[in-house]
């Protein structure tokens, strides 16, 4: 008796068996990877801006100003993000920054426009615009010397 058997169908490969869940998982992985790279880039960028002399001096002036303290309360904290530009090249540079700030009494924005020459920042604008107030609070000293050094 000659027995003929039906040969087994060849087994499908891994991709043919799992492509329905592998493709969405691969897309989620790629999106997560790019989001992580973007978050790292933004963290490094914001960290560099926050460690600059112009940023730290402006934040200190805002925290030391009695009008700003009265309007926002203490502690005055910056938001995690900021907008604008900061360009330095050795002893020269330009800064145009807007930093959201807040305290227990309110919120506002610290606006900075400054130029660096011979290693010293000179501010042309250093104000705090408090939400709900018409007039901004000017943080520049009354004297003609408005360099970063207090």
d(CA 55, CA 39): 21
What is the structure's pLDDT at 2? 58
d(CA 73, CA 121): 27
For 47-103, how does the pLDDT look when each residue is reduced to its tens digit (9 = 90+)? 878 888 889 999 999 999 999 999 999 899 998 888 888 888 888 999 999 999 999
Is pLDDT of 132 > 90? no
What is the structure's pLDDT at 133? 82
- In percent, how much of the chain has pLDDT > 70? 91
Is pLDDT of 28 > 80? yes
């Amino acid at each position: 008796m000659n027995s003929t058997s039906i040969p087994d169908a060849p087994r499908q490969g891994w991709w043919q068996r799992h492509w329905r869940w592998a493709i969405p998982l691969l897309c989620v992985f790629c999106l997560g990877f790019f989001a992580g790279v973007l978050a790292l880039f933004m963290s490094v960028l914001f960290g560099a801006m926050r460690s600059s002399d112009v940023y730290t001096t402006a934040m200190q002036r805002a925290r030391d100003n009695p009008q700003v303290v009265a309007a926002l309360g203490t502690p005055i904290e910056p938001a995690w993000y900021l907008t604008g530009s900061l360009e330095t090249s050795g002893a020269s540079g330009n800064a145009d920054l807007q930093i959201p700030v807040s305290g227990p009494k309110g919120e506002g924005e610290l606006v900075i426009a400054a130029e660096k020459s011979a290693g010293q920042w000179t501010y042309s604008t250093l104000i705090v615009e408090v939400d709900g107030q018409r007039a901004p609070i000017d943080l520049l000293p009354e004297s003609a010397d408005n360099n970063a050094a207090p």
